[in-house]
Structure 1
Amino acid sequence: MSIVMLTAVTRVERRAATSFVFDTVNRIGGWIDDVRMYSNLMNTIRLTLPAGAFAVLVAALEEGGIMVDPLQDPGDLRDAATECMATLQLTFIHDEPDLKREVPTVPG
């Protein structure tokens, strides 16, 4: 089984864009497996979808202001009923400063 690797960029606010991706994946019959947030610059979302739903996902994301690079067919997408794992690397374009997180000191 191949993993479909998607990359996208958006100017949509990051929380709204991330929620939109989650809702869209769920609406078209998939689910979110994991999310990694890299400051306020990028999220990597791991998801599972029926193979036939990837074109719908890309179209819905683009309609919502998330521009996805062209979909590369790894071969598994030919059988529409097959469940396929995917990653979506979502980069946010904005003028906000990088998020700083306070790391508590550990008594040592």
Structure 2
Amino acid sequence: MARRPLFLRLMLMTRRDRHGATDGAADAIAAAGGWVDDHHQYSNKMTTLRFTVPAHGLLALRDGLSNRDLALADAATADLDRLAADPAMADREISATLQMTFIHAEPDLRLDIPAVPG
């Protein structure tokens, strides 16, 4: 019987610089044995990383984010702890998104979108 893919949604809010926070999150993912599949920047207010991490790296991911001053929301921390404690997850890869919301007083960043011919 094929196992259903597992998808995890994580969120955090930070006052850190968005470039440093994004690099820190990517470093924490890599240190946990995972990799970033894609990312989207929504102005300078939010960035979302889509990534994959082995289940045995979930606690390392949580701790790595926390050590970089990127504390997850309580619900996200509870999800990571629950999955990491489940022995059925030990050999699974987890697909996830990490939504990072940046708290600051900077004006909205304007992104130029190139015109598509045709």
Asked if Structure 1 and Structure 2 have the same fold, meaning a TM-score greater than 0.5 normalized by the shorter chain, the answer is yes
How many residues are paired up? 107
Displacement after TM superposition at 1:64 (Å): 1.1
1:94 matched residue in structure 2: 104
1:3-62 Cα offsets, whole Å, 9 max, x none, are 011000111100000011111211221000110100000011100001121121112111
> Structure 1: where are the runs of 5+ without partners?
none
The alignment's C-alpha RMSD in Å is: 2.1
Give the secondary structure class of the aligned counterpart of 1:25.
helix
**In 1: Cα distance, 2:53 partner to 2:115 partner:** 42
Displacement after TM superposition at 1:102 (Å): 3.9
1:76-99 Cα offsets, whole Å, 9 max, x none, are 652222111011000001111100
**In 2: Cα distance, 1:16 partner to 1:52 partner:** 26
Q: 1:62 to 1:102 in 2, by over 3 A?
A: same
**Higher strand fraction: Structure 1 or Structure 2?**
1
Q: Is the 8 A contact 1:41 1:93 kept in 2?
A: yes
Return the TM-score normalized by structure 1.
0.85
Query: Identity over aligned residues, as a percent?
Result: 38
Q: Are 1:80 and 2:90 matched, yes or no? A: yes
**Higher helix fraction: Structure 1 or Structure 2?**
2
Return the TM-score normalized by structure 2.
0.79
